[in-house]
Each structure stands twice: as C-alpha cells, then as structure tokens.
Structure 1
C-alpha cells in the first residue's frame, strides 16, 4: 500500500532496507506535505470556486431579479392568449373578406378576358372568311381573264391567219403580175 505515512509507521529508505526514520526527518516532511496539499487545493480542487459561482448565480436570479422573469413570461402568455382569442380571428376574417373580394375580381377579369378572346377569335374567323372569299373572287377573275385571253388569242390567231392568207394571195397576185411583166 502506497501513500502518505501514518503515525508510527515505518517509511522505506532509499537504497532498500527498513530503518525507522528519526523524528527529525519526519518533522521536515510534514511542512512539505502541507505545502503539497495547499498547492493541490489551489490548483486542482475547484470545488470552492464552483460553490462560489453557484451561490452568486442563485443570489443573482433569486434575490436581485426577483420575479421579473415570471412577470415577463406572464405578459407573454397574456399576449399569446390575446392574439389567439382576438387578433387571430380578426385577421382571419379580414383575410377571408380580402380573398373573397380578390376572387370576385379575378372571376370578373377572367370573364372579360374570355369575352375578349371570343371576340378576337370571331374577328379572326371573319378575316379568314374574307380572305378566302377574296381569294375565290381573284381565282374566278383570273380564270375569267384566262378564258378571255384564250378567246382573244383565238380571235387574234384567226385574224392573223386571215391576214396571212390575204398577204399570201396578194403576194401571189403580185408575183403573177411581176412574172407577166418580165416575160
């Protein structure tokens, strides 16, 4: 068993053997042990400091502050209950009213937009029908123009053919006359 010597016990001496220490040597160790104990308690034993801090904490919160925190918590609780009982229902009602008004306005706007889209679609349909009718008229005019041109071409070809016949006859006559005169 190791540790500090008790009264009347023998301490081993360096180098072996078991001799009893003289009273003079034990008197010199006693102040050293006392100093070591003091150093231990100052450096490593934190219980007195912790106890002092604990006392200060308790004194600070129990004596100096009193019930201030309790009053603050009570006020907070009252504020929360008031908000739940009065403010929240008012806010809920205002929100419902505002949302209903917004919904009504949105529905009216949606109806107006639907009517505008319907009118625009009808106008596009009318424009498309006008374009188709105009295209049909142009096609009819074009076909009529082509028929007229074809008939004019036929008339012109006929007149040209008649004119060619007349010219041929005239040149044939002139050739006969010329051959009569040269003979």
Structure 2
C-alpha cells in the first residue's frame, strides 16, 4: 500500500509539474492579458486625448474642405473649363478650315497633274505619229535613192559594156 501511496504521490508531483510546465510553455493567456492591460494603460493614460484632438482636427479640416474649398475649386474649374472649351472649339474650327483648304488645294494640284499627264500623253502620241511619218519618208527616200543607184549602176554597166567591146 505504501508503494501505491508513494506512486500516487509521485504521480501527483509529476502531474503538478506537467501542469506547471504546460502553463509556462503553452498557456499564453496571462502574458496576453498583461500585454493588453499595458496597451490600454499606455493608450489611455500616457497619450491622453491626443488622438481625439487629432481626429477632431481632421474632422474640422474635412468639413472646411467640403464646405469652402471644394465649392471654390469647382467654381474656378467650371469657369476655366468653359474658357478652355471655347478655345478648343475655336481651334477645332480653325483646323477644319485648314484641312478643307488643304484638300481643295490637293484636288486642284491633282487635277493639274492629271491634265498635265494627259497633255504629255497627247504630245507623246503626236511625236510618235510624226516619227512614224518621218520614218516612212526616210524609208521612201531610201527606196528612191536605192532605185536611182540601181539605175545609175545599170547605166554604168551598160557604158562599161560599150567600152569593153572596142
């Protein structure tokens, strides 16, 4: 029985030691509670109402911006935007006029080029006809010259034949 009691007592000690080890190593609640208390104390006591003042200042700044600055900026922007839109419209109109003039000049230039090309084609065709006619004239003169030379050589041959019989 004593050995049982001894075993029971030692098992209690082991159990108690395990509980202590468990609480020190694995149970983080006491540490987290301490850290939480420290954070709350730090935040509430040392900082006081500084965050509240900062938030109040931010609220006032946002209110001032919404009530005064934004409407003033909006009005200025609308006034300037109307001027910009008018200038932009005037610039667009000017560009359209310039493009129209350029297209008209381009059309006139293209028409002039086409007319010039047609005139050159007609001149070329006339030149080729004239060359053909001149070629025909030269061929005819050549044919006549060949005929005259043939006749001249035939007469010279006859005359040569008269002189060779003597």
TM-score (norm 2): 0.73
Shift in Å, 1:14:
6.4
Secondary structure, aligned partner of 1:67: helix
| Counterpart in the other structure of 1:116 | 105
Shift in Å, 1:51:
0.8
| Counterpart in the other structure of 2:145 | 156
- Structure 1 residue ranges (4+ consecutive) displaced by more than 3 angstroms after TM superposition: 40-44, 64-67
| Counterpart in the other structure of 2:51 | 61
Shift in Å, 1:122:
1.8
- Deviation sequence 1:84-129 (CA, Å, 0-9, x none): 3x12321331122022111111111111111220121022112202
Change (3 A) 1:154 1:54: same
Change (3 A) 1:141 1:57: farther
Q: Structure 2 matches for 1:113-152, cutoff 5 A? A: 113-152=102-141
What runs of 5+ residues in structure 2 fail to find an aligned partner? Answer: 11-23
Identify, as 1 or 2, the structure richer in helix: 2
| Bigger radius of gyration among the two | 1
What runs of 5+ residues in structure 1 fail to find an aligned partner? Answer: 1-12, 19-35, 178-183
Whole-angstrom distance in 2 between the partners of 1:140 and 1:66? 101
- Deviation sequence 1:147-176 (CA, Å, 0-9, x none): 111110121111111111111101211221
The alignment status of 1:16 with 2:16, answered yes or no, reads: no
Whole-angstrom distance in 2 between the partners of 1:17 and 1:92? 92
Change (3 A) 1:51 1:14: farther
Whole-angstrom distance in 1 between the partners of 2:6 and 2:160? 169
Aligned residues: CA RMSD: 2.7
- Deviation sequence 1:31-63 (CA, Å, 0-9, x none): xxxxx8xxx89844212212123315562122x
